[in-house]
Amino acid sequence: MDQIIVRGNGPLSGEIPIAGAKNACLTLMPATLLTDQPLTLTNAPRLSDIRTMTALLQSLGAEVASLQDGQVLALSSHALTSHRADYDIVRKMRASILVLGPMLARDGRAEVSLPGGCAIGARPVDLHLKAFEAMGAELDLRDGYVHAKAPAGGLRGAMVDFPVVSVGATENALMAATLARGTTVLKNAAREPEIVDLARCLRAMGAQIEGEGTSTITIQGVDALHGATHPVVTDRIELGTYMLAPAICGGEVECLGGRIELLSAFCDKLDEAGVSVTETARGIKVSRRNGAVRAVNVTTEPFPGFPTDLQAQFMALMCVAEGTSVLEETIFENRFMHAPELTRMGARIEVHGGHATVTGVDGLRGAPVMATDLRASVSLILAGLAAQGQTTVSRVYHLDRGYEHVVRKLRGVGAHIERVKEE
């Protein structure tokens, strides 16, 4: 098993290219199940989660080819051989549930294991299932699987009013509705850039969709979709993560391909903390303005609010800020597991339910720490960049699910970081 070793070494300088969005790509890949024609995705990230989704689609009979060093994915579902997404694959990744809607819409049936992923909360799939029931599907949960069957004639357009905002449920319902008979209206829909990206891809495939990026999305079902080529949107979580690197240890870094509109609430908090964020022709340039970073309070919210997937990384910054900050987590109930590991490095953090109170310290100390989930793993690396001495991060297989070439990218701006085999 690998470890990441980080040695704090002062300010960073240079450029970091930002990859295509993991969460967008994992949603776009199942869209191949909606058509028998080829779907090509460009700007794809090279991550273990992408390989897991590839294996899942291939188990259903889809063809997936990785081209141009993995940055292009050529997909085709012209001849599906199975409608069962097995537990052995699905348990590895939450996004696996996104094959349910496309299979149900195209072929009228699907069997999908209840999914797994990072241990950051229950994240039930009931909102997905209620959307499909509204479209006329018959659902049976037994033996750990969702057994779904569309009515005769296929799914029907419906009014779906989500009681709470859910990115995954919005994505699943959106894909299913493209082939449903009649009009589907998704109310209280998620507004994330990944939703907008999915809608653009589906529209390129012939879907009729309006309102993506707002809380109401309207889909007029069509008889069939066709092939398309679509570029995956920039990964806003990778973008925000690398924006925090110069904020936490000084210097100036330009994140290539970034846009402030992807992270406006996050950028506002950086500005409030005393970090300069400037959009350039090539991306976003970030530098610490003057002196220490100031403590600011953060509440995670659905887009366009502060992303839950950047909470752990922002906490690392607040550990070395002047003053006391309160981070409130409203999306997942178990997402402060990185806090005890940060305290091993000298951070002062108190967690009470969904709130974490962070009192900034003059400096962190390197220590052996253990990653508990994807975003926690990179928060510990960021903390290591600001710490005195050596930080050794174990269980970094989480990291490979969401960040490609993290060591290479941070080395490129001057960080002392390496990946080694655990002794």
The model's confidence at residue 334, banded by pLDDT at 50, 70 and 90, is low
Question: How many angstroms separate the CA atoms of 176 and 386, rounded?
Answer: 46
Asked whether residue 23 is marked as a ligand-binding residue, the answer is yes
The answer to whether residues 369 and 266 belong to one domain is yes
**Residue 303, both tokens:** 């887009």
The answer to whether residues 66 and 146 belong to one domain is yes
The model's confidence at residue 123, banded by pLDDT at 50, 70 and 90, is very low
C-alpha closest to that of 63 among 95, 26, 35, 94: 35
C-alpha closest to that of 29 among 17, 18, 42: 42
The answer to whether residues 170 and 246 belong to one domain is no
Contact 18, 256 (CB under 8 A): yes
First to last CA, the chain: 9
The number of folded domains in the chain is 2
Give the containing element (helix H, strand E) for 85.
strand 84-85
Q: How is 236-264 classified by DSSP, letter by letter?
A: HHHHHHHHHHHHHH-EEEEEET--GGGSH
Residue where a domain stops, chosen among 186, 216, 231: 231
**Residue 293, both tokens:** 């970073």
- pLDDT greater than 50 at residue 119: no
Q: Which residue has the higher pLDDT, 272 or 374?
A: 272
Question: How many angstroms separate the CA atoms of 86 and 112, rounded?
Answer: 7
The answer to whether residues 105 and 246 belong to one domain is no
Contact 304, 191 (CB under 8 A): yes
Contact 12, 249 (CB under 8 A): yes
Q: Which of these ranges, 48-52, 149-153, 294-298, 400-404, has the smallest mean pLDDT?
A: 400-404
- pLDDT greater than 90 at residue 10: no
Contact 197, 213 (CB under 8 A): no
The answer to whether residues 359 and 336 belong to one domain is yes
Asked whether residue 284 is marked as a ligand-binding residue, the answer is no
Asked whether residue 97 is marked as a ligand-binding residue, the answer is no
Asked whether residue 125 is marked as a ligand-binding residue, the answer is yes
Residue-averaged pLDDT of the chain: 94
The answer to whether residues 220 and 164 belong to one domain is yes
CATH value at residue 12: 3.65.10.10
Q: What are the φ/ψ torsions at residue 60 (nearest 5 degrees)?
A: -90, -5
Question: How many angstroms separate the CA atoms of 333 and 62, rounded?
Answer: 36
Mean pLDDT of 392-404: 89
**Residue 354, both tokens:** 């969904």
**Residue 224, both tokens:** 């069939």
Residue where a domain stops, chosen among 175, 197, 231: 231
- pLDDT greater than 60 at residue 117: no
- pLDDT greater than 70 at residue 333: no
* pLDDT, position 124: 66
Mean pLDDT of 285-304: 93
The model's confidence at residue 118, banded by pLDDT at 50, 70 and 90, is very low
The answer to whether residues 60 and 9 belong to one domain is no
Give the containing element (helix H, strand E) for 84.
strand 84-85
Mean pLDDT of 87-115: 91
Mean pLDDT of 397-421: 93
Percent of the chain past pLDDT 90, that is, above it, reads 84
The answer to whether residues 78 and 150 belong to one domain is yes
Residues 183-216: tens digit of each pLDDT: 999 999 999 999 999 999 999 999 999 999 999 9
Asked whether residue 126 is marked as a ligand-binding residue, the answer is yes
Question: How many angstroms separate the CA atoms of 18 and 224, rounded?
Answer: 34
> pTM here?
0.90
Question: How many angstroms separate the CA atoms of 99 and 95, rounded?
Answer: 8
Give the containing element (helix H, strand E) for 167.
helix 167-177
Asked whether residue 253 is marked as a ligand-binding residue, the answer is no
Residue type, 56: L
* pLDDT, position 11: 94
Tell me 60's DSSP state.
T
Residues 204-248: tens digit of each pLDDT: 999 999 999 999 999 999 999 999 999 999 999 999 999 999 999
The answer to whether residues 241 and 381 belong to one domain is yes
* pLDDT, position 408: 96
- pLDDT greater than 70 at residue 406: yes
Asked whether residue 237 is marked as a ligand-binding residue, the answer is no
Q: Is 118 a catalytic residue?
A: yes
Question: How many angstroms separate the CA atoms of 71 and 364, rounded?
Answer: 37
The answer to whether residues 201 and 281 belong to one domain is no
- pLDDT greater than 80 at residue 306: yes
Asked whether residue 143 is marked as a ligand-binding residue, the answer is no
Domain with 317 in it = 2-18+234-421
Query: Is 40 in a helix, a strand, or coil?
Result: strand
Q: Which of these ranges, 26-40, 356-370, 390-404, has the smallest mean pLDDT?
A: 390-404
- pLDDT greater than 60 at residue 43: yes
Mean pLDDT of 247-267: 96
Q: Of residues 25, 118, 201, 319, which has the active-site annotation?
A: 118
Q: How is 340-392 classified by DSSP, letter by letter?
A: HHHHTTT-EEEEETTEEEEE--S-EE--EEE--SHHHHHHHHHHHHHEESEEE
Helix, strand, coil share of the chain (percent; to 5): 35, 30, 35
From the CB of residue 94, how many other CB atoms can be counted at a distance below 10 Å?
Answer: 18
Question: How many angstroms separate the CA atoms of 110 and 100, rounded?
Answer: 6
The model's confidence at residue 120, banded by pLDDT at 50, 70 and 90, is very low
The answer to whether residues 9 and 60 belong to one domain is no
* pLDDT, position 242: 98
Q: Could you give the C-alpha distances from 47 to 90, 124, 379, 411, in angstroms and in order?
A: 16, 25, 18, 19
Residue where a domain stops, chosen among 211, 231, 251: 231
- pLDDT greater than 70 at residue 314: yes
Mean pLDDT of 299-304: 94
Asked whether residue 187 is marked as a ligand-binding residue, the answer is no
The answer to whether residues 71 and 187 belong to one domain is yes
